[in-house]
A and B are shown apart, each in its own frame.
Chain A
Amino acid sequence: MTPRHMPIEAAQSLRYMTLLNTSRSLVGLTPKPEDCKDIARMIMELAVYEKMPDQVKISHKELERDGFGPNPFYQCLVAEVPEDHKSKDGHTKVGYALFFYTYSTWKGRTVYMEDLYVMPEYRGKGIGKALMATVAKVAKEQHCVRLQFSVLDWNKPSLDFYLAKGAEDLTAKEGWHFLRFHGIALDNLALEAP
């Protein structure tokens, strides 16, 4: 499999930025392998919010394997607060955005934001906006013309957040549906390949 992503070196010039808010959060561009346990924790928290925690099948081990090395499948931003602002449960890593590069045969290079999450007790402080803005900034630096993601139709706070930032709902507007093969259906399909 050939490498897909931009070299990490290009991204490291954007390593850290400081958010001007009361939490003084730091947003780091590339996670370290030891961040994957917190990312896995927050992935589960987001799945609980989306009412599908039983759907999470990967752990920090897969995140470590797939996010590092010469052919990463994804990139990740982690929002971190100082120790004196840690969460009720003692966490300093309080939000993340997981994304990767994709391609539109009509418009070209695109970024897909797979996840955007901020722990509930840190919301309303601009962290989500800063994470998403940094993803957009990285997208522009890599000459991407689109940032795409998906939202559950009942998730009104998130929908409002994104629509307020100028996002378009392509499902509502143009009728696009996500389709998926997995499990046995995927196996059966692959068996028929010439």
Chain B
Amino acid sequence: MDFTIRAATLEDCKDISRMILELAEHEKVSDQVKITQKDLEQDGFSKNPFFHGIIAEVPEHLKSRDGHTKVGYSLYFYTYSSWKGRAVYMEDLYVMPEFRGKGIGKALMSKVSQLGLAAGCTQLNFTVLDWNKSSLDFYLKQGCWDVTSDLGYHCMRCEGDALENLAQGDL
């Protein structure tokens, strides 16, 4: 299939927002998406961005049933491992269902890893839900490993009241 991968721009935030919701629906939690197109514009395209994005785009004649040419995206940011140094974290990887199986997801992920290596990173990290077998199989087939299964690391989170209480608890 004919497609291009390029850096996301401010104008892409509308389509990124659309696809974030589509991905959340796939993960069965679309009511959990609280950020908007405007948040993405502010947080991804200001002086100190919190993330970077890449977009997969197809030519007009290959557009989706609903008329979209932006058919996939990945959001990523740089992180740090106190053991290994610079790392890149892939927050989202998504391709619209009708464009799957054509190498677009792989191309997006490869681009993130290429950008990460260019920035001096030695790891590409991300998370997957354990019931999401199709995604797990896709990633494991590419040569990654499951740090949670192999080493026993659990993802932990403080938010809402717990974060509030924690922040007020310092002396």
Contact = CB atoms under 8 A, between A and B. Distances in A.
Size range of the interface on A? Answer: 35 or more
Interface string A156-172: 00010010011111111
Interface string A125-151: 010011011101101100001111111
Given A172-B154, A178-B148, A109 B50 contact: yes
A174 B130 CA distance: 8
Nearest to A73: B80
A153 B142 CA distance: 26
B50 A102 contact: yes
A103 B153 contact: no
Size range of the interface on B? Answer: 35 or more
Contacts of A13: none
B69 to A, nearest CB: 17
B126 A4 contact: no
B149 interface: yes
A185 B86 CA distance: 17
A112 B166 CA distance: 15
Interface in B42-61: 43-44, 47-52
Of B78, B83, B116, which is in contact with the most chain A CB atoms at under 10 Å from its CB? B83
A66 B85 contact: yes
Given A6-B48, A102-B79, A130-B170, A189 B142 contact: yes
